[in-house]
Structure 1
């Protein structure tokens, strides 16, 4: 009998959280079920039973990472409030991205994004595209409606996203927070109204 895939068991949730913490520390690139299972107090057999196979586990881990990403983006959401504007929103996103304690999630995000581009099928399918749309939707929600609905508004939020993603890659590669933050703020100022 296979587990109910629609409602995860408490054990499945517990092991997913433990596996998520493991991949935040070790990445997904060379994920092997045996060391993972040992590290989280399980067995490869239990992981296979709960997640179907290694790809199923990777998909669950990517969904878990995306949940964290969306939670971050939701904090920018302007439900019931006036939009704060693209530049302040992008500045808030950068402030969050630049915090040292977020590096494990961001490295995992970059790894999954890259794998999604190189291996567009299987466990990674659609991750990069979905995350682009997630971020663009949040940036759009932060724009006043006339701007949000215009071609120029779409171009501006695409540029803001490109600046943030490029700066993130540079920050992860070098750790040079001050230099990169200065550049981000300079570019965001150019995006101002």
Structure 2
């Protein structure tokens, strides 16, 4: 409607048309905003899962070579990952087993997307590197993009020290790990 056409109608009608136009614009802005938020919320990662989590256990028993007197590296495992609000993740895992003169380890580094549905969390790697050693440096291996998606049941609990702990359960119910926030 042109300015000349608007002034040709009675003042009361102009106010009504102007108010209706403002109401329509306001309603469409509110509608657009809430639609945008709904779309963002459906792909967002719950705030309680966002950030950095770590798990790790190192054996308190070390082996000592009877002939050289040198201690072997400890046995243990570590899993550390970061999850962003948009679902991007980075994860690094290490497993080390050392028995007398045989040190074996596996290091996996990956990144990708985390998908959360109900109480299940799935790591979907898009890029990964695996490196390892079997008993000595002469038997090493390396591979790229071999990490597969992994799905866990998840919950967040409060431990006896009042800290949040992320609990990941394997779907077969045989494995459970407690992840804490790095200190």
Judging by fraction of residues, say which structure has more strand: 2
**Which interval holds the TM-score relative to the shorter structure?**
under 0.3
Judging by fraction of residues, say which structure has more helix: 1
Q: Higher relative contact order by CA 8 Å / sep ≥ 6: 1 or 2? A: 1
